[in-house]
Every structure is written in C-alpha cells, then in structure tokens.
Structure 1
Amino acid sequence: MGSSLPLVAGRAYCEPAAVSVNTLMKIRAYNENDKNEVISLWGDCGLTVAQNDAAKDIERKLKVDPDLFLVGVSESEIVASVMGGYEGHRGWINYLAVKPSEQRKGYGQAIMQAVEILLKGKGCPKINLQVRSANESVIAFYSAMGYENDNVVGLGKRLEYDS
C-alpha cells in the first residue's frame, strides 16, 4: 500500500491543507541536511538523554521506514519533527518535538496527522507510543488527539549501548 501523501522527489510530502489543522508549516520527509537542526530541536525539547545518541538514532531510523521520519518547516526553520515506525503489526511514534517557542500553534497536531496518514497508508491498524507517566501536558496532548491509556506497562531491554 502506498502513502496518501503526495510524493516530491520520491519522498512523502504534505502541504498544510493535507491535514485538518491549518498551520503555516510545511511537512516533508527528513533529509541528511536536517540532522544538526533536528538534534538541536530534540535538545531544546528535552528529548535527548545520555543513554541515547541522537545521531545514532537518526542513522538507525534512516535504515527502516525513512519515509516515516518527518520534519515541519516554517520560514526555512525546522520547528517540528516526528519519527514513525511500522513493523507490520503496530505503528510507533518517537521523537515528536515542536520548538518550545512554536508550541500551541497546531504544529504538533499537524505533523502527527501527517505521520498517521502515512502509517494508515502502510496498512497500520493501531499506533502505540510511550510517554513518561509524570508528563501530564504531553499525555493531555495525545489524549486530545484520540490516544488512550492502554493500561499496559512498558518494558525495555537495551541490546546496544550508545555511550
């Protein structure tokens, strides 16, 4: 199944009109020139942690479903990002970030809707994501977008250490 977003140079591309949130942000697939700006955005949003090397996370993502790694651009600046993933059973969301000074403008909703469209186009029946239980504002954001607490415990096992 293909993506419902138009393709530009073979990559998914979404104009603001393609999602229901009206923003001045253009959404497009990540490209290598975005790396430093995206890593800086993640740092500004508190998404980088010592045990994860952001550059390695990007390298890994580009090997699997790179079309699900989106950035939002406003006035030539990356103001949002999201990494989607799909392993044939469930979709996953990682690294949703909106520049702090640009939050509450609909950018988070717009880029989430864009990645949801792409995941649905791949046949994804359900999207999962993880949020720290103390992060009430982010939980409220996702709840407003229709995400619900599945009452599951997230477990993890590190197979490779970045640092």
Structure 2
Amino acid sequence: MQIRSFQNTDRAAVIALWQACGLTRPWNDPDSDISFCVSKPESTILVGERDSKIVASVMTGHDGHRGWLYYLAVDPALQKAGHGRAMVQAAEAWLTARGVPKVMLMVRPENTQVRAFYDALGYAEEPRVIFSRRLDGK
C-alpha cells in the first residue's frame, strides 16, 4: 500500500470507503467534513492506495497543542493486514513534523474491536468527560 495526501479527485472513493466502514453519521456530512479539513493548513487527509484503488484513509489535524485522528478506515476486505497501523503511523508522522506533542481520538464505548486496535498500538484510554454543543442547529 502506498500512502499519499488526499486529492480532490479522491473525494467519492474516500466517502464510499467511510460508508463501507460504517464511519458516517446522519448529522456529519462527509463531503462537508472533507471540504473543511482540506481548506485548513492545520489538517489533512491521507489515503492508502493499492493497485490504483483507495483502500485506506485517515483524517488528522491539530489545534496547536493536541493532534486528532478521525475517519481511520480500511477496506473491510483488507482489514487485519497492517494497513490501519500504517495509516496511524503516517498520521502520527504528519503531526510530529508539525511539532504536535500528543495525539488523541475518540471511540464509541461499545466499539470494542476498535478500542482493542488502538490499545495494541500503544494508545491509552484517558478518563475524560467530553462536552459538546452543536453550533449548526442540527
């Protein structure tokens, strides 16, 4: 798998991958999420390609203090082959190159498979309460 930066021509394939992996939610429009991400220098999307097909992705960005991972996806037929690990490492390298000292992500509590994946990569669960408020009226 080759990892590279997202190009706008990847948009439909990346959205289809996110949908195939169950990452999209009705209140989060993936097309808008992509547009917002790629319009900012503090964020990017990396894609993994195999045989000219996008098979993996990760969105990453930072707030100047913490980095974040979003939309880590690997084609379901290719999971458990190291592609997810490679995408996380690429996102971590992108953040490290920008001097970001810490990376975080959110996983739904019931998603035990993904929690185990990040645990195996050396990520630790941190006791935090997350507050949020919608600003878009949704």
Range class of TM-score, shorter chain: over 0.9
Letter in 2 for 1:114: A
Letter in 1 for 2:134: R
User: 1:155 deviation in Å?
Assistant: 2.2
Q: Aligned with 1:94: secondary structure? A: strand
- Aligned twin of 1:38: 14
Letter in 2 for 1:65: P
User: 1:65 deviation in Å?
Assistant: 3.2
Unaligned runs of 5+ in 1: 1-24
Letter in 1 for 2:35: E
| Residue 39 (structure 2) pairs with residue 75 (structure 1) | no
Closer, same or farther in 2 for the Cα pair 1:116/1:77, shift >3 Å?
Answer: same
CA distance in 1, matches of 2:88, 2:96: 12
| Residue 104 (structure 2) pairs with residue 105 (structure 1) | no
CA distance in 1, matches of 2:20, 2:99: 33
| Residue 25 (structure 2) pairs with residue 49 (structure 1) | yes
Q: Is the 8 A contact 1:80 1:107 kept in 2?
A: yes
- Aligned twin of 1:27: 3
Closer, same or farther in 2 for the Cα pair 1:37/1:149, shift >3 Å?
Answer: same
User: 1:66 deviation in Å?
Assistant: 7.0
Give a deviation string over 1:100-132, Cα, whole Å, max 9, x none. Answer: 001001000001101101101101110010000
- Aligned twin of 2:40: 64
- Aligned twin of 1:90: 66
Q: Is the 8 A contact 1:29 1:67 kept in 2?
A: no
Letter in 2 for 1:30: F
Tell me how large the CA RMSD over aligned residues is.
Answer: 1.3
Q: Aligned with 2:9: secondary structure? A: helix
- Aligned twin of 1:159: 135
CA distance in 2, matches of 1:39, 1:91: 22
**TM-score normalised per structure 1:** 0.81
CA distance in 2, matches of 1:73, 1:161: 36
- Percent identity between matched residues is 45
Unaligned runs of 5+ in 2: none
Q: Aligned with 2:133: secondary structure? A: coil
Q: Is the 8 A contact 1:51 1:161 kept in 2?
A: no
CA distance in 2, matches of 1:28, 1:87: 22
